[in-house]
Homo-oligomer: A and B are copies of this chain.
Amino acid sequence: MSSTKNSFKIAVLPGDGIGREVMPACLEVIDAAVKVIGAPPMSFETHQAGAQFYAESGEALPASAVEACRKADAILFGAMGWPDIRFPDGTEIIPQLDLRMEFGLFAGIRPIRWFPGLPKVLSDPRAEGIDFVLIREQTEGLFYARGRGEIRNDQEAYDTMQITRAGTERVTEFAFQLAEQRKRRGRPGVVTCVDKANVFSSMAFFRKVFDEVAEKHPDVQKDYAYVDALALNMVKKPWALDVLVTENMFGDILSDLAAGLIGGMGMAASADIGEHYGLFQPAHGTAPDIAGKGVANPSAMILSGAMMLDWLAVKHREPKLADAARLIEAAVEHTLSTKTAVPMEYGGGANCADMTRSVIGALGAVR
């Protein structure tokens, strides 16, 4: 049975800083790729949100934007936040965390893969084989404490981490299913539970629920790692990693570390997936230091767009969207590996527009 949808509605939140620069690049590339493939087109609806919009309007994440996201088939998110714009109580404007809660985006997916053209950060030649994916739980864990912290008499502060059975089941189930899919691509799946079960009872509980879920997937190998040892192993032999699943805060730290292994945030695509919703955003921030100059590398945003097409392809049984996703990935890889355009962060001279033009130009070449 194939999809009956002949177009997809995408809610677009460029946000702040370089989010506003890389987003148009991404939309252009998606448009071009679906055309080349003959996949159903996307209609993009842009909404303002973020710190700079807050400064202008008094609203960081307007209800109308949230409603538009709810009605859309998927959400594209640039980056939000700005150094000196804060809420009156001094807290930072980070609507991405609100959206994760609002839409139950429990699985933060961060694929980490090296390909030719990326910097060789590690000197071991095996690092060219880096290809793993980190699944970060995104609705509980230590982030449960956000907005709930307690400060007593300016002397003691407390934040509580929550691990629920339901929350752990859904994210570990997600990880096992992902490992199964990778198996279909001819690779044996291994899911590693990354925790600190030797010290914290919530983490021992996380591991216990992970084990229960693993029982239902006898075809997938399981493994365990303490988060500290895993951080070391990410540097020592990341090529041995496959699918990792972990708590929210640990996942936040490890996913940035992982991005470092393949050359930093310029390439770090990510997806925030829930039961019904999917939000796709580069892992980088708003980069105030380079914002407004048009020099940001749009690759992470573009690759996040490809993750969106992949997700829509499965959800709506529209294989052509997956073809468009593959095409985009191939075009980005072609651009970098042939050095048609070398992003400034890797010592080249290509700005955002140059990168975009090269990737679009490569769509035909790699088809």
Give me the interface of A with B, judged by CB distance under 8 Å: 91-92, 94, 97, 120-124, 142-143, 145-146, 149-151, 154-166, 196, 198-203, 205-206, 227-229, 231-236, 249-250, 252-257, 259-261, 264-265
Contact = CB atoms under 8 A, between A and B. Distances in A.
Contacts of A94: 198-199
B256 A257 contact: no
B146 A200 contact: yes
Contact of A231 (B92, B162, B253): B253
A254 B260 CA distance: 14
A146 B199 contact: yes
A236 B260 contact: yes
A234 B260 contact: yes
Given A94-B198, A165-B155, A205-B151, A253 B227 contact: yes
B250 A232 contact: no
Contacts of A149: 200-202
Nearest to A124: B121
A264 B249 contact: no
Contact of A265 (B163, B202, B232): B232
Given A145-B200, A157-B163, A235-B235, 10 more contacts: A121-B123, A122-B122, A143-B199, A149-B200, A151-B205, A157-B162, A157-B201, A228-B255, A231-B254, A250-B253
A156 B160 contact: no
Contacts of A121: 122-124, 235-236
A65 B161 CA distance: 35
A165 B161 contact: no
Nearest to A123: B123
Contact of A162 (B156, B162, B259): B156
A156 to B, nearest CB: 5
B205 A157 contact: yes
Given A122-B121, A123-B120, A229-B256, A159 B202 contact: yes
B257 A234 contact: yes
Nearest to A251: B228
Contacts of A203: 159
Contact of A253 (B92, B97, B143, B253): B253
Nearest to A153: B165
Contacts of A233: 260
A66 to B, nearest CB: 20
Contacts of A162: 156-158
A229 B285 CA distance: 10
Contacts of A235: 121, 235, 257, 260-261
